[in-house]
């Protein structure tokens, strides 16, 4: 009887810790959002295609991490192009880091993506004044909206001719494309349709992405 009591108490003592760990794991997941579809499983690069310098990307602790020579990873998990949508991603930057989130783009083997727009990722990168949530070279943000080493949520919303960019729920950019806007020759920067891509900018930059998700609005 004494042996049984000791075993029971020891087992019971483990229950609160196990329950607590399970709850912590569950509570760390993003809230269920109606209509949103996950683009990244947190375990692999399934559904994504890296162009040049594949070593610049890895999956680590449920996040997609970029650190290395210039490289872009394109979402190829859905053949249907994204036109009108609401995209969200949780992002974390290390100091003096630069990256980007592209939309309305398409896969290319090398170089800076020509098609679509870039939503800038940069809170303290010294060589570029365009800060996080800039609609790069179209409508720029010059003050950091978050802090390095802390997660923030970037939203990109496209409806018709309007692009809205938000950080942690705060609108930083609203851009309505003129009806007579023409695509640029080097970078189109024109509303169209396409896929998403993430940027590894340079070896000195390290940026983390997780909870990549999107809701189609058409």
What is the per-residue pLDDT across 96-108, written as a single tens digit (0 to 9) for each? 999 999 999 999 9
**Please, what's the largest Cα pairwise distance for the chain?**
86
Is 24:167 a contact under the CB 8 Å cutoff?
Answer: no
pLDDT tens for residues 167-187?
999 999 999 999 999 999 999
Residues contacting residue 195 through CB under 8 Å, at least 6 positions apart? 74, 75, 76, 78, 81, 82, 103, 105, 106, 107
Q: Which two tokens stand for residue 25?
A: 């794991």
Tens-digit pLDDT string for the chain (218 aa): 444 444 443 434 444 443 333 333 333 345 569 999 999 999 999 999 999 999 999 999 999 999 999 999 999 999 999 999 999 999 999 999 999 999 999 999 999 999 999 999 999 999 999 999 999 999 999 999 999 999 999 999 999 999 999 999 999 999 999 999 999 999 999 999 999 999 999 999 999 999 999 999 99
């Amino acid at each position: 009887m004494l042996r049984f009591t000791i075993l029971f108490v020891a087992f019971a003592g483990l229950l609160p810790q196990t329950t607590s760990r399970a709850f912590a794991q569950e509570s760390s997941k993003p809230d269920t959002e109606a209509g949103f579809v996950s683009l990244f499983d947190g375990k692999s690069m399934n559904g994504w295609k890296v162009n040049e310098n594949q070593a610049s990307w890895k999956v680590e602790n449920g996040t997609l991490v970029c650190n290395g020579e210039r490289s872009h990873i394109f979402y190829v998990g859905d053949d249907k192009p994204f036109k009108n949508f609401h995209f969200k991603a949780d992002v974390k930057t290390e100091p003096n880091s630069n990256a980007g989130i592209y939309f309305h783009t398409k896969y290319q083997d090398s170089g800076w993506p020509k098609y679509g727009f870039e939503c800038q990722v940069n809170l303290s990168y010294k060589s570029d004044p365009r800060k996080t949530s800039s609609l790069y070279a179209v409508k720029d943000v010059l003050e950091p909206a978050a802090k390095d080493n802390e997660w923030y949520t970037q939203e990109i919303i496209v409806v018709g001719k309007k692009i809205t960019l938000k950080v942690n729920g705060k609108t930083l950019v609203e851009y309505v494309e003129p009806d007579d806007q023409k695509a640029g020759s080097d970078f189109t920067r024109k509303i169209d349709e396409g896929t998403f891509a993430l940027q590894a900018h340079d070896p000195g930059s390290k940026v983390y992405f997780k909870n990549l998700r999107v809701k189609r609005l058409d």
